[in-house]
A and B are shown apart, each in its own frame.
Chain A
Amino acid sequence: MSKIYDVIIIGGGHNALVCANILSKKNKKVLICEARDECGGLLTNQLTNFIPGLHKNVTSSIDAISTNLRSIKSIALSETGQHLKLSGNKNEDQKTLEGFSAEDADNFLALEKKLSLFSKTLGAFMQSSPPRIMTNSFSDNFKIFKLGLNVRLFGKKNFNEFARMIGLNVADELEDNFKNPLLQGLIAHDSITGSNLGPRSPGTLINLLYRMATYDNSIFGGIKQNEGGVISIIKALENNIIKRGVEIRKSTAVKKCIIKNDRVEGVELDNGELIEAKTVISSADPKSTYFCLLGTEHLDTDFKRKVKHYRAKGRVAKLSLKLKKIPEFKGLDQSDLSQRLVVAPSIDYIEENFNFSKFENLSKDPILEISIPSIYDNSLCDEDMHVMNVQIQYAPYDVRGGWENKSAECINSVLSTIEKYAPDIKACVERQEFISPNDIEKDFNVSGGHWHHGEIQIDQLFMLRPIPGAAQYKTPLHGFYMCGAGTHPGGGMTGIPGKNAANTVLKDL
């Protein structure tokens, strides 16, 4: 048994890479074991359309990486061709919205201002390990006090608004403020993506705030695409840590942790090899981490109950199309096509989709987010060809009939839906690849195939994420930590869980 590593990180997603970077900067000898033949986890060019870019607090704590990020507009598609194009730039958006309704434009600015105030506070709270309550620890109480103080400093009116909004559903707020269904639909779409909630489900407003906290505290701003896709960011992260002496072993699946006297002492690989380390960090999702890597015989019954009931069933599927040519979208020009195209024309459209997915059915008129990155970035595809990545919201993990039978149907309704906006789409398709939540589960070892490693709902956030009582990147076992999207503050390409976890580990070491 070798004994050269301080820390072993299981999984090589971006949070793991960020975590490894911070640890290696403090001269910790780190090994990353990645089961797949490449790092990045769920961040692949196929799965990831748009990103906010790593959070500035993350980039400032790791080695500099060069990215080539391009800001993206959001376009809510309308069958009439009267699309709504929003850039995240206040003045532009105000003008655009005024074209539909002056009142909407005013209300949009007011709402965004209010929400960004809240999302900033939320964002600050995301930056460190969530406090535990009732522990009488000074730092925990101080964190709660600080959050409370920040919230009180909103002023009376905004404080009241914040109190009201915590549990609010996004549809009510949008209907109270806007008349334009496209605008309502687009914001509602961003509030429910990846979740198992409809726009009328209470708690969806906090999802929007959550998203805004990572997207520049704005509703439509901060959406980016990287030249070469997300993979090139991953490569950059990898290169940085390799320079720091971090070892990355790909195609190396960890079978389970070695546990002695209630302490994690290393890992056992699938091939039987044992690797020793005082600290092991899992970037896998909570269920896989606890039930597979750790082993249930080291956990208490109540804890297992909580892990078992952790909700992590994915609701997003992906259709990746190889196109012979770019289809013609009514009312969109070439530069529009390289933006984010969203098919979610109204709240009711989304809610109706949600109604199907609640019963594990598929809608014939799905909600789509479309990206054609190859227009801008020809490194992503062969010459003369194009790639279109379509994200399908509300594709239930447990679809009735099973994905092996249902994927054709799903592809068909996706293409028919796109056809409404781009009539020649079917003729353009050369090849198609469909990725269901089940495929994500299998291919990426994410139990449930959930993009965020678990539902983003209040009962699974903050000090409750992933498991109440084990939410501070720590686990019941000594020397074992978590750093994946299943921990606070959750999924998305932020790197914050990785950063916070690294800091927690360093404090303990």
Chain B
Amino acid sequence: MSKDTYDAIVVGAGHNGLTAASYMAKAGLKVLVLEKNEYIGGAAVSRELYPGWKYSNCSYVCSLLRPEIMRDLELYKYGLQIIPYEGSATMMKNGDYYANYHDHDMTVKAISRHSVHDAEAYDRYSRDVMRQCKIIKPLLKMTPPDLTSFKPKDIFGALEFAKYFAAKDELGGLGEKEIYDTIRFYTMSIRDYLEEYFESDIVKAHLSGSAIIGTALGPCSPGSAYVLLHHYMGEVDGAIGSWGYARGGMGSITQAMSECFKSHGGVIQASSEVTNVIVKNGRAIGVATKSGDEFYAKKIVSNLDVKRTFLKITNESDLEPEFVKRVKNFKIRGSSGKLNIALEGLPTFPSIPKDDPGGGGDMHFTETIEEMEGAYDDWKRGKWSEFPYVDMCIPSKSDPTMAAPGKHFMSVFIQYVPFDLADGGWNEKKKQEFGKHIINRISEYSPDFKDLIAHYEIRTPKDIHDEVGLTEGNIFQGELTMDQLMFNRPITGYAQYRAPIKDLYMCSSSTHPGGGVMGAPGANAAREILNDMNIKQKGNYY
């Protein structure tokens, strides 16, 4: 039985765990990271599941990762390079297509092919969404205040939080009107929101995709407009809303983080599943692993989602029943699946002209919001969507390291796949059926696609739940709805990264500001821990 003691132990080597660990190690703490899988990275991994191909088999594109974190952790030094991509496209059954480009003029021109009105409305739409991105950006870095507390620190925190909506900020002060707009944006459905700007189905369908990825909301559900923001607020070098690939797959993000962590003396131990948080006298003092090892530390930080943290590795007896009930009622619904495909060549998509930059990024084939909502209805009924919203991309088009020259890796994200099927759970046969269905759907838009497949991996929410450890396979580690955002995330009253047990912290995407490969929850949690230890911090993030 090992009796090593550390300053901090982080449970789970996902990107938020590694971010928190790196910040702590950089501040001089002795930190141990424990990971249940034999590989690290959580949902940001590059894995060679088929010889010669690297798979970003969970998360697949990068934009939300805060640049301040990349800078503080010097991730470039450890090999991280983000490759922006040029556009995105939705293919249509009639052989036409719709595309958005990096270049504004091209986008406007492309829209005007479908609707001149919408092309003009796009300017106003971009401005309004951009305004929301600017409003939320500073909030990402903040610890949500406890609104019920009368401590000066929390009252100031609340004021600070409110300040960004009211006083002088990056936008030079918001007026009454902008605040009303913000309230509306946070509470509306993406359908209602887009209908205030656009008339063309294809334009609305293309733009609303970002509002449903990963959530258990449909485009008609109020609150889905905010989810759109969650995909827009990222940036690649100041270009807000643009996306890119991590060179070498998403794993290179967590690899770079772990190298940074190690270079500051951190220790990572893989294949060590934490089974229990050891609590003594109301304080978390260590963790026990499956193999029977025990590790002790001053601070225990869980990068597991809030359900796993409190229902699985914490003894219920150490928690208030009311809190346990809240955790049990935390909404974390798997709604997405994935297909990861090794291709012998580049499939052609006849509806997108060859070399059109629109085909360089994500590709879709959902033509109307109704179709998307219908896909959601299937999910609600406990079935995978017959006409799902898919987000396909081929990172190897821009990234030479994913596959051998001429070979390609394709990532297909599928929105709406339930964690549990109404007809009695997932099994291998149903999983294969699901995979085949998606491949057939894609083949309708790419005749040579099937013949190029060398290998593919099907990931249902169940698989993600089991292997990666995201409860129910929810990619955000908890729904992004108003009842679980900001000071409500993960549990109202516990939004300051501290668990109800002393010295136990949370740093996963279950905490503010939520999911996506953003790193902000990890960095925010590290800040709170270091504050509690009275350790001075430097860096661009703070």
- Flag if B493 contacts A203 (CB, 8 Å): no
Pick 23 A–B contacts, CB within 8 A, sort by A: A134-B166, A156-B148, A160-B148, A160-B492, A161-B492, A163-B488, A166-B483, A167-B222, A167-B485, A168-B481, A172-B329, A176-B329, A200-B221, A202-B223, A203-B223, A355-B377, A358-B373, A457-B222, A458-B187, A459-B187, A464-B180, A464-B184, A469-B177
B454 within 8 A of A: no
A463, CB-defined interface residue at 8 Å: yes
Q: How far is the CB of A490 from chain B (nearest CB, A)?
A: 15
Complex-state Cα separation, A161 to B166, whole angstroms: 25
- Measured between beta carbons, the chain B residues less than 8 angstroms from A459 are 183-184, 187-188, 192, 222
Closest A residue to B148 by beta carbon equals: A156
Partner of A167, one of B322, B483, B487: B483
7 tightest A-B CB contacts, nearest first: A167-B482, A160-B492, A468-B180, A202-B223, A458-B187, A459-B184, A156-B148
Given contacts A166-B482, A459-B184, 14 further A-B contacts (CB under 8 A): A152-B148, A163-B487, A167-B223, A172-B331, A172-B483, A202-B482, A203-B187, A203-B222, A203-B223, A355-B380, A359-B374, A457-B222, A459-B188, A468-B181
Residues of A near B184 (CB, < 8 A) are 459, 464, 468
Given known contacts A152-B148, A176-B329, A200-B221, is B481 in contact with A167 (CB within 8 Å)?
A: yes
Proximity string of chain B (179-216) to chain A, C-beta cutoff 8 Å, 1 when within and 0 when not = 11101100111001001100000000000000000000
Which residues of A lie under 8 Å from residue B483 when comparing CB positions?
Answer: 164-168, 172, 202
Q: A152-B148, A159-B147 are in contact. Are A202 and B377 (CB under 8 A)?
A: no
Are B493 and A156 neighbours in the complex by a CB distance under 8 Å?
yes
Docked pose: A125 CA to B57 CA in angstroms: 51
**CB-contacts of A426-481 with B (<8 A):** 457-459, 463-464, 468-469
CA distance A55 to B461 in the complex (A): 50
Rounded to whole Å, the gap between the CB of B57 and the closest CB of chain A is 30
Closest residue of B by beta carbon distance from A459 = B184
* A164-B187 contact in complex given A358-B220, A469-B177, C-beta closer than 8 Å: no
Q: How far is the CB of A402 from chain B (nearest CB, A)?
A: 18
User: Which residues of B are found within 8 Å of A359, using beta-carbon distances?
Assistant: 370, 373-374
Residue of B nearest to A197 (CB): B222
For A311, list chain B residues within 8 Å (CB): 192
Q: Counting chain A CB atoms within 10 Å of each CB, which of B177, B179, B217, B493 scores highest?
A: B493
Query: For residue B180, which residues in chain A have a CB less than 8 angstroms away from its CB?
Result: 463-464, 468-469
Q: Give which listed residue, A134, A165, A202, A309, contacts B222 with CB less than 8 A.
A: A202
Residues of A within 8 A of B192 (CB): 311, 459
What is the interface residue range for chain A against chain B? 35 or more
B176 interfacial by beta-carbon distance below 8 Å: yes
Residues of A within 8 Å of B223, CB to CB, are 167, 202-203
Does A351 have its Cβ within 8 Å of any Cβ on chain B? yes
Beyond A201-B222, A459-B184, is A135–B176 a contact (Cβ under 8 Å)?
yes
Task: Verify if A133 is at the interface (C-beta below 8 Å from B).
Answer: yes
Q: Which residues of A contact B (CB under 8 A)?
A: 132-135, 152, 156-157, 159-161, 163-169, 172, 176, 197, 200-203, 305, 309, 311, 351, 355, 358-359, 457-459, 463-464, 468-469
- Most central of B176, B181, B187, B374 by chain A CB within 10 Å: B187
A96 vs B331: C-alpha distance when bound (angstroms)? 30
Residues of A within 8 A of B322 (CB): 157
Instruction: Provide the B318-352 mask, 1 if CB < 8 A to any CB of A, else 0.
Output: 00001000000101000000000000000000000
Q: Which residues of B, 471-522, contact A by the 8 Å Cβ criterion?
A: 481-485, 487-488, 492-493
Contacts of A159 in B (CB 8 A): 147-148
* Across-interface contacts of B373 in A (CB, < 8 A): 358-359
Rounded to whole Å, the gap between the CB of A196 and the closest CB of chain B is: 9
> Is B175 part of the contact surface with A, judged by Cβ < 8 Å?
yes
Closest CB of chain B to A399's CB: distance in Å? Answer: 15
Residues of B within 8 A of A351 (CB): 380
Bound Cα distance A165, B221 (Å) = 16
Contact A202 B217 (CB under 8 A): yes
- Are B176's CB and A132's CB within 8 A? yes
Question: What mask results when residues 150 to 169 of chain B are scored 1 for a CB within 8 Å of chain A, else 0?
Answer: 00000000000000001000
Contact with A along B428-458 (1 / 0, CB 8 A): 0000000000000000000000000000000
CA distance A161 to B487 in the complex (A): 11
Q: Name the distance in Å between A85's Cβ and chain B's nearest Cβ.
A: 28
Give A38 Cβ to nearest chain B Cβ, in Å: 35
Alpha-carbon gap, A176 to B483, bound state (A) = 14
Q: Report yes or no: B481 in contact with A134, Cβ–Cβ below 8 A.
A: no
Q: Once the chains are docked, how many angstroms separate the CA of A197 from the CA of B176?
A: 28
CB distance from B158 to the nearest CB of A (A): 10
Q: How many residue-residue contacts, CB under 8 A, span A and B?
A: 100
Q: Residues of A contacting B187 with CB < 8 Å?
A: 167, 203, 457-459
How far is it, in angstroms, between the C-alpha of A328 and the C-alpha of B371 when the chains are bound? Answer: 42
CA distance A305 to B373 in the complex (A): 26
**CA of A309 to CA of B329 in the docked complex: distance in angstroms?**
35
Find the B residue at minimum CB distance from A311. B192
B181 to A: closest C-beta gap in Å: 8
Q: Is the CB of A134 within 8 A of B175?
A: yes
B481 touches A202 (CB 8 A): yes
Residue of A with least CB distance to B180: A468
Residues in B with CB closer than 8 Å to A176 are 329
Q: Which residue of B lies closest to A464 (CB)?
A: B180
> Which residues on the B side are within 8 Å of A458 (C-beta)?
183, 187, 222
Question: In the assembled complex, which residues on chain A have CB atoms less than 8 Å from the CB atom of B166?
Answer: 134
A161 to B493, CA, bound (A): 9
Q: Of all chain B residues, which has the CB nearest A162?
A: B492
Given contacts A164-B492, A172-B331, A464-B184, A133 and B177 within 8 Å (CB-CB): no
Interface centre among A167, A168, A463 (most CB of B within 10 A): A167
C-alpha gap A468/B179 in the complex (Å): 10
Look across to chain A and name the residue whose beta carbon is closest to the beta carbon of B195. Answer: A309
B334 to chain A, nearest CB (A): 16
Choose among B195, B221, B222, B331 the residue with the greatest number of A CB atoms under 10 Å from its CB: B222
Determine the distance from Cα of A184 to Cα of B209 in the docked complex, in whole angstroms: 32
Give complex CA distance A166, B485 in Å. Answer: 11
Q: When the two chains form their complex, are residues A164 and B488 in contact, meaning their CB atoms are under 8 A apart?
A: yes
Q: How far is the CA of A468 from the CA of B196 in the complex (A)?
A: 15
Within the assembled complex, what's the spacing in Å between the Cα atoms of A468 and B176? Answer: 9
Asked if residues A201 and B221 are in contact (CB atoms below 8 Å), the reply is: yes
> Which chain B positions have C-beta within 8 A of A165?
483
Closest chain A residue to B481 by CB distance?
Answer: A202
Give Cα A435 to B177, complex, Å: 39
Closest approach, in angstroms, between the C-beta of A482 and any C-beta of chain B? 18
**Cα distance A172–B484 when bound, in Å?**
12
| Nearest CB of B to A362, in Å | 16
Chain B positions within 8 Å of A200 at CB level: 221, 380
Which residues of B have CB within 8 Å of A160?
A: 148, 492-493
What's the Cα separation between A183 and B156 when bound, in Å? 43
**Shortest distance in angstroms between B272's beta carbon and chain A's nearest beta carbon?**
34
B residues in contact with A168, CB < 8 Å: 481-483
Residues of B within 8 A of A464 (CB): 180, 183-184
* CB closest residue in chain B, given A351: B380
Contacts of B487 in A (CB 8 A): 163
Residues of chain B in range 363-384 having any CB-CB distance to chain A below 8 Å:
370, 373-374, 377, 380
Q: Which residues does chain B contribute within 8 Å of A172, judged by CB atoms?
A: 329, 331, 483
Please, how many angstroms separate the alpha-carbon atoms of A457 and B183 in the complex?
Answer: 11
Complex CA distance for A372 and B346, rounded to whole angstroms: 68
B222 near A133 with CB under 8 A, answer: no
A202: chain B residues within 8 A (beta carbon):
217, 221-223, 481-483
CB contacts (< 8 Å) of A133 on chain B: these are: 176, 179
Give bound CA distance, A394 to B147, whole Å.
Answer: 38
Closest to A167 in B: B482
Residue in chain A with minimal CB distance to B329 = A176
Choose among B188, B370, B484 the residue with the greatest number of A CB atoms under 10 Å from its CB.
B188
B259 to A: closest C-beta gap in Å: 40
Q: Give Cα A176 to B177, complex, Å.
A: 37
B183 in contact with A163 (CB, 8 Å): no
Is A309 within 8 A of B196, CB to CB? yes
**A160 CB, nearest partner CB in chain B, Å:** 4
